[in-house]
Amino acid sequence: MIRLLNFVGIDDSDTVVVSYNDGFLKSCRYTVEGNNSFLEGISPKNIDILTFHIGGIEQKGNISLSGRPDVIFNSICNPESNTKSLALLIDWLKENDVPLINHPEQILLTKRDLIYKSLVDIPDIVMPKTLRLNPSSLAEIKKVLEEEHFSYPILFRPANEHGGSGLIRIDRYEELGLLERYAFDGRDYFITEFVDFVSEDGLYRKSRYFVIDGKVYPRHRIVSTQWKIHAETRSELMNESTLFQNEEKKFLSRLDPEIEKKCLNIAQRVNLDCFGIDCHHETSGKMTIFEVNACMRPYAAHAQNYLNKATSSIKQAIEAMVIKRSTNG
């Protein structure tokens, strides 16, 4: 039996989201934001998972555990909202030499602006220019856009939010006044140049891949009439269209060698054991990157049964990696 220690981090707001409460703590269901769900695919038959929550208002200074784990899985994935728990884990690891999956120091390097700097020079990778700023006024934003030679359209978003929350697109200079809806009180934001990725048929396509232990796994391809594509977008076209479902089946059935090569080039820069890539690519071979991080959801319930095979492959890859990395695997 492999003993796996799973670190989950309390986010910097020191809160958890309680989704079910019957009055008894043991039966409460809750979500700790800023952590991934890769271990939901692990079979309990040969792996014993001990989940340890790190962070919060007051963390015990000396984290002591009974017995040495065979492998550690770092589920903390958000470098913006979980900085305290990542720092605590980094300190703990200095005194504990155990095989580790997803080092927290590498997670800290997956901030959007750092990913841009890391990947921008890879051939045939289109990495939209991204800048972090903490403006005190709209005038300051206008100055930065001019000095850094940003081209319109641009995307503006709060630094600590994922999934399109708080995201706005500004198509021209005259629309910058729309940014007054945000609080310019010292908090961080990202500005990104928008790269139009519309296909020849006038639709938008976003593909997701996972890289797990040096191997690439296609997860899904969503087709939409809108440029802002998320999981909920699937209901727009994908759930009813045989045409687009067949396109996604083809995407899942064969991994393009050139796309695989690009994903592995990204993996060399990111240096994580398991993470996701959201992107767009056409037959031209170029890949436009939207996000690269360890926070993407690998598993989800879908109306399309053919996606279950992709999910199963990812689960098996995570389990195989845990066994491989363990001291007794």
74-99 mean pLDDT: 94
Instruction: Report residue 283 as tokens.
Output: 């037959």
User: Considering its fold, how many domains does the chain have in total?
Assistant: 3
The domain of 138 spans 129-193
- Burial tier of 287 (Cβ tally within 10 Å: 0-12, 13-18, 19+): buried
Domain final residue pick, 87, 103, 119: 103
Q: What is the DSSP letter of 76?
A: B
Residue 300 has a pLDDT of 82
| pLDDT grade for 157, boundaries at 50, 70 and 90 | very high
Phi, psi of 177 (to 5 degrees): -60, -20
Answer yes or no: are the C-beta atoms of 116 and 129 closer than 8 Å.
yes
Instruction: Report residue 129 as tokens.
Output: 């220019």
Residue 238 has a pLDDT of 92
Structural domain includes residue 108 = no
Does pLDDT of 17 surpass 90?
no
Answer yes or no: are the C-beta atoms of 110 and 270 closer than 8 Å.
yes
d(CA 129, CA 256): 26
Helices and strands (DSSP H and E) totals, the chain:
8, 15
188 and 208 inside one domain: no
Q: What pTM, to 2 d.p., does this model score?
A: 0.94
The tens digit of pLDDT for each residue in 114-128 reads: 999 999 999 999 999
How many other CB atoms are there within 10 angstroms of residue 177's CB atom? 10
Does pLDDT of 212 surpass 80?
yes
The tens digit of pLDDT for each residue in 213-260 reads: 999 999 999 999 999 998 888 889 998 899 999 999 999 999 999 999
* Percent share of the chain, pLDDT over 70: 95
Does pLDDT of 205 surpass 80?
yes
| pLDDT grade for 61, boundaries at 50, 70 and 90 | low
Structural domain includes residue 167 = yes
Look at residues 131, 6, 76 and name the one whose alpha carbon lies nearest to residue 293: 76
Residue 26 has a pLDDT of 77
Answer yes or no: are the C-beta atoms of 217 and 313 closer than 8 Å.
yes
Instruction: Please report, for the domain that includes residue 150, its CATH number.
Output: 3.30.1490.20
Q: Which amino acid, 217?
A: Y
Does pLDDT of 63 surpass 70?
no
Residue 86 has a pLDDT of 96
178 and 231 inside one domain: no
d(CA 273, CA 275): 7
